[in-house]
């Protein structure tokens, strides 16, 4: 048998290059020592990675399990400059990629085409991430540091390949390695599907936070669900938006690591029994398992690699009924398996049906229960033989991203009391000190409420705990406000209680007793009617007599046996009994934060004002931020080079305050020329994307005007498209020379998904595409105006659109957008914003300068008065608004009926009417502001200066800044840099 020799010195590369080395004996020689053993494929992989450079320090590599721990002997040597987990040698990397294409294949061996090359490349970089992941994990275990856990129903990651190799400083080496193998890095990266784990800003924020946590060396993990189909893949047809299942996992996910040894039981339904000693037991019901899938999250130029742990659900194999299956009842035999697996099928399943509501609640509980069981297991393991539960909040911080993870509160209580044996008082103290809540909305429909009956059925023990928390809250409210003013107390209880439309507990039954009225005898006839009722009937009969046709008779709705009416009162429906999840979050946690300055004030003054008066110390602001790595450094390399050149270093990537140095060069002609060239280069890429996705050809010399975000009435895509229609109408009324003089050429780009059951949002998508179909084929208009809806908007599309944008629309009704994060991304990339004073727009405008922001519209403090004015019939619409609606109704955009869409803007009251989002009110201000945009764009020096000032002023919107604030003011954790 041949002996293979491995050398750690340069020159030994070919010794183990053949795949035939696997299974043979290898002589490991280093200096005077060595050994002889069989080489395995994973060992060969590591040999290849490290064989081209001298090893300065020893290290160990292993897979981490939840039970067995092996202490890290050392860590990878820190290279000068960018940190690389293995030498950035293109030949070594190419060998690694080739190895994975042969030994961890997902494709047949005949070809090395782009999809196969992508998976092999991703697996090769994942090896490096696992090394760092293991080192990070072990270091945290050894130090037993306090760790933050970020729970979110969404993580909108985008593609991971370029981000990972960029964070590790290996972009050039991987580009060269793939070139050696006959491929282009950019083309290979484009083979990666976006991970379908989120939908909008909530999920993207969570992913930006993970990037910053890793980059800043904070000990933290993310927890989410591993959705098989995500939200949906969006197609645009002649009928508007069409939803089809997302297929991101069909070819598997090269980044995830399944941890089959990390699985936790999850229970639904069943019943609660009480022991003679008062201890509760939740038994019976439906049992499933949550299995962990780990996704390594690398920091930028650091060894720290944290974890995103995603839960996938399954049923125990014993739940598959083999005898039933063999009897031919195949569906029935596998029912338990399907019920378990479908929990993680879709993000936000439709909840209009009871089944959909149950599935959503199951999703939320699965995330909370599995994550907390995992967190507690880690705490117990790190604590050693003696667990001190009162130290739990000193080691664990749980952040609930919106109300979806609210069940963390009763679940932590359940585990501590029922499983760990703590008292209610101890468990409640621990829970309140551990959990914190981020509020993301002021919209009533987004403040989650669940049916009390449904929760009692699905989670009986948790409902008991929630009722007890509600009692604790009632006791606190009574203690704070006293019983003297029963009206005030009743109002406070109605607004603050966790349980809505639920009678007070027995202990407080006499709290709001009001004096009874003295009974008054009311004479009645033999049919039980009072004198007042008889008088009313007489009046009705007189009215009927007037309306009676000649010789006819109007029959009463109900007649007694003697011809007299017997009134049966309409039953008054009982209001539904609900659980207010947001109220539970506020009560059960130690901190509540909004995500922009104006939003946090609305949270304190309106949304949770009663709680703010009770616990002002709980309420904070944490303005959102976005990672400058993905949103400038990697997605806009041309602009990044310019920034680096003019600021003198790449320090701005980690310290965005350096961006502010661009201000002093804003009028420099050389910088402006470079700036415009970079923007045009990015616009060319978007022009190619638009042609590929829609077939439309657009000019890169036009202004690129972009609004990309979730389709929702409050975000007012409808205002945007109505403005475009008005623009188009005015163009048509002019001669060719007049319109060319008046208007600058524009490409108006939309993107975003309307939720599948949100009918009005889908009507908006349909209308946008109809306008585009008309405008884009109008020979009179040509390149002067194009309207494009980019289908299936996601992170990868955003990474192309945002660097190319020149004007971006953030035009929500003031006071309704919590913060926004796309506005920050656009500003970072030198895009000028048009918007209202809403969300983070307020702070962005302050930072970039009022003169560099196009402002219009009503302000948040005016909104309530304007709606009241509308309800009273006092609103007088602007003639231009009426003009544009009439133009649409004329049929110029095809045969589709837009009455229901435009009907939402009509009337003074009623659901779906009365222009609740004030499109008509802000329309004149909006189109006047757009005229100002045109005039400014004609002077490219002024426009470019504004663009530079936007990038320079965006320094304060890095998620690094946000994470430092969370860590210091909510989680109380400190950076832990690996040695």
Active site amino acids: 440, 709-710, 715, 821, 825
Q: CA-to-CA distance for 370 and 960, rounded, in angstroms?
A: 28
Q: CA-to-CA distance for 345 and 373, rounded, in angstroms?
A: 22
Q: CA-to-CA distance for 637 and 745, rounded, in angstroms?
A: 27
Characterize the bridge pairing of strands 396-401 and 147-151. parallel
Positive or negative torsion for Cα 498, 504, 506, 511: positive
**Of 490, 787, 437, the residue nearest 603 (C-alpha):** 437
H or E element in which residue 3 lies: strand 3-6
**Of 159, 91, 174, 78, the residue nearest 125 (C-alpha):** 174
Q: CA-to-CA distance for 480 and 459, rounded, in angstroms?
A: 31
**741 token code pair:** 């003089």
**731 token code pair:** 């163009």
DSSP letters, 230-269, are -S-EEEEETTEEEEE---TTTT--TT-EEEEEEEEEEEES
CA atoms within 13 A on the CB side of 688: 7
Q: CA-to-CA distance for 737 and 740, rounded, in angstroms?
A: 5
DSSP letters, 103-134, are HS-SS-TT---HHHHHHHHHHHHHHHHHHHHH
| Cβ contact 624:212 at 8 Å | no
**126 token code pair:** 């994942």
Q: What is the DSSP letter of 18?
A: S
- Which residue is listed with tokens 């201890």? 279
Q: CA-to-CA distance for 588 and 405, rounded, in angstroms?
A: 12
Kindly list the distances between the CA atom of residue 926 and the CA atoms of 723, 819, 863, 864, 960, in Å, as whole numbers in the listed order: 8, 21, 16, 20, 34
H or E element in which residue 615 lies: none
Start-end of H helices in 396-459:
408-414, 424-434, 452-458
For residue 932, the tally of other CB atoms under 10 A from its CB is 13
Crossing angle (nearest 10°) for helices 90-103 and 41-50: 170
Between CA 913 and CA 919, with CA 918 as vertex, the angle to 5 degrees is 95
- Which residue is listed with tokens 């800044």? 961
Instruction: Please report, in angstroms and rounded to a whole number, the separation of the first and last CA atoms in the chain.
Output: 43
| Cβ contact 140:219 at 8 Å | yes
Crossing angle (nearest 10°) for helices 919-937 and 717-732: 60
Burial of 371 (0-12, 13-18, 19+ CB in 10 A): buried
| Cβ contact 158:207 at 8 Å | yes
Characterize the bridge pairing of strands 396-401 and 280-283. unpaired
Characterize the bridge pairing of strands 286-298 and 257-268. antiparallel
Question: Quick one: three-class SS letters along 934-955?
Answer: HHHHCCHHHHHHHHHHHHHHHH
- Which residue is listed with tokens 């050149």? 645
Summarize the chain as % helix, strand, coil (round to 5): 50, 15, 35
């Amino acid at each position: 048998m041949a002996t293979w020799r491995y050398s750690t010195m340069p020159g030994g590369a070919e010794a183990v290059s053949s795949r035939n080395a696997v299974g043979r004996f290898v002589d490991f020689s280093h200096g005077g020592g060595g050994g002889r053993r069989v080489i395995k494929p994973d060992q060969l992989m590591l040999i290849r990675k490290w064989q081209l450079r001298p090893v300065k320090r020893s290290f160990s590599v292993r897979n981490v399990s939840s039970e067995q721990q092996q202490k890290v002997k050392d860590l990878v040597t820190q290279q000068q400059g960018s940190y690389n987990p293995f030498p950035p040698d293109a030949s070594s990397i190419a060998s690694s990629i080739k190895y994975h294409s042969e030994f961890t294949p997902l494709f047949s061996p005949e070809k090395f085409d782009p999809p196969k090359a992508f998976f092999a490349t991703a697996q090769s970089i994942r090896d490096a991430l696992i090394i760092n992941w293991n080192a990070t994990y072990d270091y945290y275990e050894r130090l037993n540091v306090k760790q933050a856990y970020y729970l979110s129903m969404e993580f909108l990651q985008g593609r991971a390949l370029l981000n990972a190799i960029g964070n590790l400083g290996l972009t050039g080496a991987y580009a060269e390695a793939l070139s050696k193998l006959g491929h282009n890095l950019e083309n290979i990266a484009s083979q990666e599907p976006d991970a379908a784990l989120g939908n909008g800003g909530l999920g993207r924020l969570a992913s930006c936070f993970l990037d910053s946590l890793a980059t800043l060396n904070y000990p933290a993990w993310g927890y989410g669900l591993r959705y098989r189909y995500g939200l949906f893949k969006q197609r645009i047809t002649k009928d508007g938006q069409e939803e089809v299942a997302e297929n991101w996992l069909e070819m598997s996910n090269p980044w995830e690591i399944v941890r089959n040894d990390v699985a936790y039981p999850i229970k639904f339904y069943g019943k609660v029994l009480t022991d003679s000693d008062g201890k509760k037991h939740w038994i019976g019901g439906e049992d499933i398992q949550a299995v962990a899938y780990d996704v390594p999250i690398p920091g930028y130029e650091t060894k720290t690699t944290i974890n995103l742990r995603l839960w996938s659900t399954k049923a125990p194999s014993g739940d598959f009924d083999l005898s039933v299956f063999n009897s031919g009842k195949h569906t029935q035999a596998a029912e338990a398996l399907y019920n378990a697996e479908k929990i993680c099928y879709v993000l936000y399943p439709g909840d209009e049906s009871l089944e959909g509501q149950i599935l959503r609640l199951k999703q939320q509980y699965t995330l909370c229960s599995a994550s907390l069981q995992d967190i507690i297991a880690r705490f117990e393991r790190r604590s050693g033989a003696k667990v001190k539960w009162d130290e739990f909040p000193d080691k664990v911080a749980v952040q609930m991203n919106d109300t979806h993870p609210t069940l963390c509160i009763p679940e932590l209580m359940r585990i501590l009391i029922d499983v760990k044996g703590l008292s209610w008082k101890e468990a409640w103290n621990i829970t309140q000190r551990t959990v914190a809540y981020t509020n993301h909305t002021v919209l009533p429909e987004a403040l989650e409420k669940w049916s009390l009956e449904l929760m009692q059925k699905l989670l009986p023990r948790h409902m008991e705990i929630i009722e007890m928390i509600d009692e604790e809250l009632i006791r606190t409210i009574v203690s704070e406000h006293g019983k003297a003013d029963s009206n005030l107390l009743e109002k406070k209880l109605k607004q603050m209680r966790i349980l809505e439309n639920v009678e007070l507990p027995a202990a407080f039954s006499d709290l709001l007793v009001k004096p009874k009225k003295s009974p008054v005898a009311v004479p009645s006839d033999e049919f039980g009617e009072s004198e007042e009722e008889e008088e009313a009937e007489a009046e009705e009969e007189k009215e009927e007599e007037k309306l009676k046709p000649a010789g006819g008779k109007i029959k009463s709705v109900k007649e007694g046996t003697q011809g007299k009416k017997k009134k049966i009162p309409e039953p008054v429906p009982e209001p539904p009994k609900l659980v207010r999840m947001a109220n539970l979050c506020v009560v059960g946690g130690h901190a509540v934060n909004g995500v922009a300055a104006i939003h946090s004030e609305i949270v304190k003054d309106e949304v949770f004002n009663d709680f703010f008066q009770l616990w002002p110390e709980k309420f904070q602001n944490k303005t959102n931020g976005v990672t400058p790595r993905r949103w400038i450094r990697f997605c806009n390399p041309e602009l990044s080079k310019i920034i680096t050149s003019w600021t003198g270093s790449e320090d701005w990537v980690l310290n965005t305050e350096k961006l502010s140095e661009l201000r002093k060069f804003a009028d420099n002609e050389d910088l402006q020329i470079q700036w415009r060239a970079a923007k045009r280069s990015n616009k060319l890429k978007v022009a190619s994307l638009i042609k590929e996705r829609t077939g439309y050809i657009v000019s890169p010399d036009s202004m690129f005007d972009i609004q990309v975000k979730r389709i929702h009435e409050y975000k007012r895509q409808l205002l945007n498209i109505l403005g475009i229609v008005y623009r188009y109408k005015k163009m048509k009324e002019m001669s060719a020379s007049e319109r060319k003089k008046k208007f600058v050429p524009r490409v108006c780009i939309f993107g975003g998904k309307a939720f599948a059951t949100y009918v009005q949002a889908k009507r908006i998508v349909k209308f946008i595409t109809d306008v585009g179909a008309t405008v884009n084929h109008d020979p009179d208009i040509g390149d002067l105006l194009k309207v494009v809806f980019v289908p299936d908007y996601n992170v990868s599309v955003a990474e192309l659109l945002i660097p190319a944008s020149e004007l971006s629309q953030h035009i929500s009704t003031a006071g309704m957008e919590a913060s926004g994060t796309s506005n920050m991304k656009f500003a970072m990339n030198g895009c000028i914003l048009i918007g209202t004073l809403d969300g983070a727009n307020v702070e962005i405008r302050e930072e970039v300068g009022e003169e560099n922001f196009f402002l219009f519209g009503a302000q948040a403090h005016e909104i309530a008065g304007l709606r009241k004015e509308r309800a009273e019939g006092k609103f007088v619409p602007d003639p231009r608004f009426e003009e544009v609606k009439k133009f649409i109704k004329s049929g110029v955009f095809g045969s589709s009926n837009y009455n229901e869409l435009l009907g939402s803007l009509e009337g003074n009251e009623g659901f779906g009417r009365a222009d609740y989002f004030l499109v008509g009110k802000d329309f004149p201000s909006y189109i006047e502001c757009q005229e100002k945009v045109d005039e400014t764009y004609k002077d490219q020096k002024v426009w470019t200066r504004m663009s530079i000032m936007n990038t320079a002023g965006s320094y304060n919107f890095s998620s690094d800044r946000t994470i430092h604030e969370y860590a210091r003011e909510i989680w109380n954790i400190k950076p832990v840099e690996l040695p």
